[in-house]
Chains A and B, each alone.
Chain A
Amino acid sequence: MKGAAKTRQSSPIKRGVLQFLLILYSAIVVYPMLWLLLASLKDSREIFEHPWSFPKALQWSNFTEAWVGAEIGKCFGNSVFVTALSMFFILFVGAMAAYALARFTFKGREAMSAVFLSGMMFPVFLGIVPLYILLANLGMLDNYYGLITVYVAYSLSFTIFVLTGFFKTLPHELAEAGMIDGCSSFTIFWRIMLPLAKPGLIAAGIFNFFGIWNEFPLALVIISKENLRTLPLGIQNLLMVEHYQANWGALFAGLVIVMLPTLIIYLLFQRQITEGLTAGALKG
């Protein structure tokens, strides 16, 4: 790979042009977000009159207004709760199933793996009406547990797929040693295998985090109570409200609040994210 880079040196002019194009596209990517950051620190009049300038005085009050007044703080808490609980159950339930599918031979194993895998084929909205009715009948509409259950069910295909691949690569000797020591199969899974599968759990966890933290259509269908709104619902609602109230500063501050955790997680796990994406692509 390094050899390729060395021999593919091009002329300085060409390199300059390419560098310019890369910077141009970077500007297109960064510009709206930078504008947002500046706008979140201006008052509404300043946004109107000087949309391009730096804020004259930093309006931190936008953030308190968004957090408290527009209830983005409440939505933030809801999103943290829903995402954390969903991820816990997705990884726990998914890892158990993936472990069984990867480490045991039994009749119907291939078929079962295929059924789990097939879930990645269906568009989210295909079953939305039956799901809505099912949740209504179970009294799970408009509450956290309905939303979390649906998130877990919808994420299992992908999670089991990733984790099965992982468990298959683990050495057999450790589990056998555990068996000889008289550990129960659950203890072997929990104490020995799960810690070994940590990189896989992290990879699956990251992608599920982004999937659920950002999830919109299912939340829109399942949640209608104001105090249960997750962040995407809260922001969408805030946009509609501000069309009339025009308190833009608070809306922009709200947007910054939504994007901040994404940015932090992205920066922390950037390597795993790119590797995960590319590994999936190269295998598939």
Chain B
Amino acid sequence: MSSAAKRDKIKTLILFLSPAAVLYSVFFLFPMAQAFYIALFRWSGMSPNREFIGFANFKKLLGFEMSGGATVPTDPMFWKALLHNFEFMIISLVVVIPLALFIGSVLSRKVWGSGTYRALYLFPNMISVVAVAVLWSFVYHPQFGVLNVLVEGVGLKPPLNGWLGEPKTALFCMIATSIWYGLGFYIVLLLAGIQSIPSSYYEAASIDGAGSWQQFKNITIPLVWDILKLAIVYLIINTINIFGLVYVMTDAHPTEHTHTLLTYLYQKAFSESDFGYATAIGVMVFVLIFSISLVSLRLMKREAVEM
């Protein structure tokens, strides 16, 4: 290439790449990277004074102290929030994955209206989480909520303060809402995987006299394994990243019964102006997502099945 042509190419590359590179570095990568540094400071509010304290924020987040003869966490709220995220994660995994697999494989058969069902099931996932959260706070409403009517219908007593006001039920109600919101996405994902399995496999199995369950277990599951893994990792990431739903359904004031990691981070940063500490929570969330995803991928490792 002549040097003039080369100079032209470089100019072109700069013209095309620099807007994206600048925006992405300045407003995305740089803040993300800076978080790992700011997490090492004690820094309240917008004041220019910040004090380097090493890993003290992390020690406080993860540490334990003696208090009244018992060992208690230095930041009990962090552990509660973490526990709530785990509840979100475990319940979602147990409910969403089997349901999505089941509905996905039903829809992959020649059922009447399967396209319509698929479109319908995916729709909640397209709505704003805020709208979903507001809508469902009325399903749980103490005066005119549907859930009350259903529960009273079978002769039980709904909680006095409403489902979201009652510490024992609030979190589960939010988990149920998040499942309503997300299930369709996983159905569509797994359905696509199931549909990519060649029909001849099922034909051969039928001829050999294998029933639906055997076909599901021996053909569907192994052949959608890769997409199943993907779905599980997505679900894990989504349940750790949960924010809007909880923030809105708790009226912007989560309690020790409803806080999740990100609502706690938000409160620390923007209500209490504890910038360093809030950022340390963010780093923990990042580490958590990264490690849980890696571990679950490792656990689900299985010989690839050739199609």
Name A's B-contacting residues (CB within 8 A). 1-10, 15, 18-19, 21-22, 25-26, 28-33, 35-36, 39, 47-48, 51-52, 93-94, 96-97, 99-101, 104, 106, 112, 115-116, 119, 121-134, 136, 149-150, 152-154, 156-157, 160, 185-186, 189, 210, 213-214, 216-217, 220-221, 231-232, 235-236, 239-240, 243, 251-252, 255, 258-259, 262-263, 266, 270, 273-274, 277-278, 281-282, 284
Q: A126-B35, A232-B128 are in contact. Are A29 and B121 (CB under 8 A)?
A: yes
Q: A19-B112, A93-B20, A129-B275 are in contact. Are A119 and B29 (CB under 8 A)?
A: yes
Task: Choose among A123, A185, A239, A263 the residue that contacts B286 (Cβ–Cβ < 8 A).
Answer: A123
The distance from the CB of B200 to the nearest CB of chain A, in whole angstroms, is 7
With A1-B199, A4-B198, A18-B111 given, name 11 new contacts (CB 8 A).
A32-B138, A32-B180, A133-B275, A134-B26, A134-B30, A153-B28, A154-B28, A157-B28, A258-B127, A262-B128, A277-B185
Count of CB-CB pairs between chains A and B under 8 Å: 285
Which interface class (under 10, 10 to 19, 20 to 34, 35 or more) fits B? 35 or more
Chain B residues within an 8 Å CB radius of A99: 16
Let me know if B193 and A3 touch, CB within 8 A. Answer: no
Chain B residues within an 8 Å CB radius of A134: 26-27, 30-31
Q: Once bound together, how far apart are the Cα atoms of A232 and B262, in whole Å? A: 18
Q: Once bound together, how far apart are the Cα atoms of A115 and B20, in whole Å? A: 12
A-B contacts, 6 of them at CB < 8 A, read: A36-B135, A51-B149, A115-B29, A128-B269, A130-B31, A221-B266
Q: Once bound together, how far apart are the Cα atoms of A116 and B13, in whole Å? A: 16
Q: Once bound together, how far apart are the Cα atoms of A240 and B27, in whole Å? A: 31
Q: Once bound together, how far apart are the Cα atoms of A157 and B266, in whole Å? A: 24
Q: Once bound together, how far apart are the Cα atoms of A208 and B23, in whole Å? A: 17
Chain A residues within an 8 Å CB radius of B124: 29
Task: Choose among A35, A97, A243 the residue that contacts B251 (Cβ–Cβ < 8 A).
Answer: A243
Let me know if A104 and B278 touch, CB within 8 A. Answer: no
The distance from the CB of B26 to the nearest CB of chain A, in whole angstroms, is 7
| B3-47 contacts to A (CB < 8 Å) | 8-9, 12-13, 15-17, 19-21, 23-24, 26-35, 38, 46
Q: Top 7 A-B pairs ranked by shortest CB distance?
A: A4-B199, A127-B31, A278-B192, A153-B27, A5-B110, A97-B20, A214-B128
Name B's A-contacting residues (CB within 8 A). 8-9, 12-13, 15-17, 19-21, 23-24, 26-35, 38, 46, 103, 106-113, 117-124, 126-131, 134-139, 143-146, 149, 180, 184-185, 188-189, 191-193, 195-200, 202-203, 206, 212, 227, 230, 240-241, 243-244, 247-248, 251-252, 262, 265-266, 269-270, 275, 278-279, 282-283, 285-286, 289-290
Q: A106-B13, A255-B135 are in contact. Are A123 and B202 (CB under 8 A)?
A: no
The distance from the CB of A208 to the nearest CB of chain B, in whole angstroms, is 13
Let me know if A3 and B128 touch, CB within 8 A. Answer: no
Chain B residues within an 8 Å CB radius of A278: 188-189, 191-192
Let me know if A119 and B24 touch, CB within 8 A. Answer: yes
The distance from the CB of B133 to the nearest CB of chain A, in whole angstroms, is 8
Let me know if A127 and B35 touch, CB within 8 A. Answer: yes
Let me know if B24 and A129 touch, CB within 8 A. Answer: no
Chain A residues within an 8 Å CB radius of B195: 1
Chain B, interface SS category: helix
Q: Once bound together, how far apart are the Cα atoms of A131 and B28, in whole Å? A: 8
The distance from the CB of B210 to the nearest CB of chain A, in whole angstroms, is 11
The distance from the CB of A216 to the nearest CB of chain B, in whole angstroms, is 4
The distance from the CB of A74 to the nearest CB of chain B, in whole angstroms, is 17
Let me know if B27 and A35 touch, CB within 8 A. Answer: no
Chain A residues within an 8 Å CB radius of B270: 132, 221
The distance from the CB of A112 to the nearest CB of chain B, in whole angstroms, is 7
Q: A6-B110, A22-B111 are in contact. Are A255 and B131 (CB under 8 A)?
A: yes
Let me know if A259 and B38 touch, CB within 8 A. Answer: no
Q: Once bound together, how far apart are the Cα atoms of A202 and B233, in whole Å? A: 27
Chain B residues within an 8 Å CB radius of A239: 134, 137, 248, 251
Task: Choose among B9, B111, B144 the residue that contacts A47 (Cβ–Cβ < 8 A).
Answer: B144
